[in-house]
Amino acid sequence: MKNFTFQNTTKIIFGKGSISQLEKEIPLDRKIMLTMGGGSVKQNGVYDQVVSALQKHNCIEFWGIEPNPKVETLRKAIALGKQENIDFILAVGGGSVLDGTKLIASAIPYNGDAWNLVLDETLIGDIIPFADVITLPATGSEMNQGAVISNSASGEKYAFGSAYPQFSILDPETTFSLPPYQIACGIADSFIHVMEQYLIDKNNAPLMDRWAEGILLTLIETAPFIRKNQQDYEQMANFMLSATMALNGFIAMGIRTDWATHMIGHEITALTGLTHGETLAIVEPALLRVMKNEKRNKLLQYAERVWNIVETDEDRKIEAAIAKTEQFYRSLPLKTRLSEHGIGDDVCQEIVERFRKRNTRLGENASITADTVKIILEHCK
Amino acid sequence: MKNFTFQNTTKIIFGKGSISQLEKEIPLDRKIMLTMGGGSVKQNGVYDQVVSALQKHNCIEFWGIEPNPKVETLRKAIALGKQENIDFILAVGGGSVLDGTKLIASAIPYNGDAWNLVLDETLIGDIIPFADVITLPATGSEMNQGAVISNSASGEKYAFGSAYPQFSILDPETTFSLPPYQIACGIADSFIHVMEQYLIDKNNAPLMDRWAEGILLTLIETAPFIRKNQQDYEQMANFMLSATMALNGFIAMGIRTDWATHMIGHEITALTGLTHGETLAIVEPALLRVMKNEKRNKLLQYAERVWNIVETDEDRKIEAAIAKTEQFYRSLPLKTRLSEHGIGDDVCQEIVERFRKRNTRLGENASITADTVKIILEHCK
């Protein structure tokens, strides 16, 4: 086990009816900016619950943070926040709204352009306190410091680190009306967050392995029930809790991580607009096939403990586990091949070119070069 | 899943050499009281590392916090802390030193007698910030708000809730010189902390089940290696992390818990002085045998997932799992029967009498009366 420091200060308020707790969680003397997406929170009643809980508070609203939040949109929210001297931000929506809010909260006290903060976290100084009512289990943003921001002008998409939400309200009932495709992407996203931290050889952290496997098994067991009945409170609660635990540091103590699947997936989204979760479901089985020797021991453990595969030939065992994984993504249902989305060689070549220019080396051992990415993308076709 | 609120603010600093980080974790303007036990931290070099890291800080020392810390001892530390106007406390030692420190930190700003705070947590107001260098994996006190304090005058022992440590330093190397008996008790204590939160019927929280099972399996796998070689860094790190995760709320989200084993064990310690972990190893198998119908479904899951018991007869399966559990405690090695410690009927009668007077109802369904405790203690003989 590696030496590590762990601290996660976010307060999780979980369960049906919990939005009403906003009233006492935010001090009355704060000037609040509510940040929101395209309006689904108005249709599903979440907005009404928030406004009702905050009726004694002083709030302004910013609407229009899109999926894969763009710095161009966020600059408008930052300008509004500066102008109105807001001192608390409440994100109401999914991971994109919250990710965008993390940049807004970091950029309001900053004098330069917000994109600088994405490119160089060390420029981040004070951060406006923020919290969220999260309505889409997927990114884990509700209990971590990370955010992913896109720049449409440059076609770039990068992760950056900001602060933990002060609190996050998770009411599984808010997910009942989500489009099934978003739920499918959310399950894949959560699953692959775990895989990026778990499928690493020689991590020597058996408890972290067990906890990662625990999330994977819970998602595998929960997914078919959710597909049958998206209003099943207990199953949506399982999914929502799993999504949060998948990327809050709880399974990452003392370990090395990977994130190559995410790096490649981000490029696909940046170039084609494909939803994050779906890009991961395409890239990850391909990456595991290409990197199977580096990840051999952990893939064998994964085959046994997660998929219960009994098979003596190691290569067959590993391929069976990867096939099961791909089959799981297809059952959500998601497509797992670029060709199914009409994405062709031009996109793949551009991605490889980008990694070549940046001289990037990805993966647990920094062994994935642009040439390896090319091979992985071949397997994605 | 029940509605829940979760927040755990403690910063964990984990790994070899991490005591040196004290220097930057505590602001230089603080007046620190170091709280310690009987002197083992002087023998194992931990005290020297602490003093070296804090050489620029202003520290006073309080020695002599005993196992099962007594309010009589803690009153002296509280008086010293008040007199010296200390504004930070650093506990250096095991769970008892830290538990005692939680009462000291709560009682310095309080005008009445410290025992009042144990009896009535609502009297706790300001709490002096405190942190710890924990040297015995067992109680989980390093990442929770709880503490257990004894009163020798009245022969009582109660749990009370205070605040989270600001930070906890966990260096597995500090455990290399622990007496093997303390390690055995620590493993049992950690294991049974998990059991008190896991072995509950109808909890409907599959991820929490998986995480609890993950800690149990890690402890079962780690224990024999520790017994062979207590200087095995990786194994002691597994144990230390498991002990912390066993009682920090991470496996308790949205669930009901039990704690009847602890309540009965505390009485045995209060009356006989037997170490906490060993009392649990005696009471728990007996309690599971007596309560097996209430806990039937979870005991069957426990038998399958933790002990891999394949057996169609439910009662035989449950008894096999309980027997494996008792056998595990004996392998640590600990005794699992009162008679092996020369504890007889007089103690059992006194315990039953105490529960009868208090009209206590213990367990997940508050169904364990004084009469049930009597039957459980019969099974402990």
- Predicted confidence at residue A356, as pLDDT, reads 97
How far, CA to CA in Å, does A20 sit from each of A53, A240, A241, A281, B4? 5, 19, 19, 36, 14
Mean pLDDT over each residue of chain A, to the nearest integer: 96
Are B210 and A211 a contacting pair at CB < 8 A?
yes
Pick one of 1.20.1090.10, 3.40.50.300, 3.30.420.40, 3.20.20.150 as the CATH number of B180-379. Answer: 1.20.1090.10
Q: pLDDT per position in chain B (381 positions), as tens?
A: 999 999 999 999 999 999 999 999 999 999 999 999 998 999 999 999 999 999 999 999 999 999 989 999 999 999 999 999 999 999 999 999 999 999 999 999 999 999 999 999 999 999 999 999 999 999 999 999 999 999 999 988 888 999 999 999 999 999 999 999 999 999 999 999 999 999 999 889 999 999 999 999 999 999 999 999 999 999 999 999 999 999 999 999 999 999 999 999 999 998 999 999 999 999 999 999 999 999 999 999 999 999 999 999 999 999 999 999 999 999 999 999 999 999 999 999 999 999 999 998 999 999 999 999 999 999 999
Residue A8 has φ and ψ, to the nearest 5°, of -135, 110
Q: Which fold does the domain A179-379 belong to in CATH?
A: Dehydroquinate synthase-like, alpha domain (1.20.1090)
Q: Is the pLDDT of residue A155 over 90?
A: no
ipTM of the complex: 0.96
The pLDDT of A202-223, averaged and rounded, is 97
Are A3 and B9 a contacting pair at CB < 8 A?
no
Closest Cβ opposite residue B7 in set A11, A16, A254:
A11
Which amino acid does the sequence have at A325? T
Closest Cβ opposite residue A5 in set B11, B221, B250:
B11
- Predicted confidence at residue A156, as pLDDT, reads 86
- Predicted confidence at residue A94, as pLDDT, reads 94
CA-based nearest distance A258→chain B, Å: 21
A interface test, pick of B241, B242, B250, B301 with most A CB neighbours within 10 Å: B241
Q: Is the pLDDT of residue A49 over 90?
A: yes
- Neighbouring CB atoms inside 10 A of A190's CB total 27
Residue of B nearest to A214 (CA): B210
CA-based nearest distance A10→chain B, Å: 6
User: In chain A, which residues have their Cβ closer than 8 Å to the Cβ of B211?
Assistant: 210-211, 214
User: In chain B, which residues have their Cβ closer than 8 Å to the Cβ of A17?
Assistant: 3
Q: Is the pLDDT of residue A202 over 90?
A: no
Q: Give residue A107's Cα distance to chain centre.
A: 21
Facing residues of B5 across strands? A13
Q: List the domain boundaries for chain A.
A: 11-174, 179-379
- Answer with the residue of higher pLDDT: A338 or B270: A338
User: In chain B, which residues have their Cβ closer than 8 Å to the Cβ of A16?
Assistant: 3
Are B241 and A1 a contacting pair at CB < 8 A?
yes
Q: Is B237 helix (H, G, I), strand (E, B) or coil?
A: helix
The pLDDT of A316-341, averaged and rounded, is 98
- Predicted confidence at residue A157, as pLDDT, reads 85
Q: Is the pLDDT of residue A255 over 90?
A: yes
User: In chain B, which residues have their Cβ closer than 8 Å to the Cβ of A9?
Assistant: 7, 9
Pick one of 3.40.50.300, 3.40.50.10680, 3.30.70.1560, 3.40.50.1970 as the CATH number of A11-174. Answer: 3.40.50.1970
Residue of A nearest to B250 (CA): A250
User: In chain A, which residues have their Cβ closer than 8 Å to the Cβ of B210?
Assistant: 210-211, 213-215, 217-218
B314-331 and B296-305 helices, crossing angle to 10°? 60
The reported pTM is 0.97
Residue given tokens 């894949």 in the structure block:
A188
Range name among A2-6, A77-81, B199-203, B210-214 with the lowest pLDDT average: B199-203
Q: Is the sign of the CA dihedral A20, A25, A28, A31 positive or negative? A: negative
The CA distance from A81 to A62, in Å, is: 9
The CA distance from B257 to B198, in Å, is: 7
User: In chain B, which residues have their Cβ closer than 8 Å to the Cβ of A218?
Assistant: 206-207, 210
Are B238 and A206 a contacting pair at CB < 8 A?
yes
CA-based nearest distance A123→chain B, Å: 22
Q: Give residue B43's Cα distance to chain centre.
A: 24
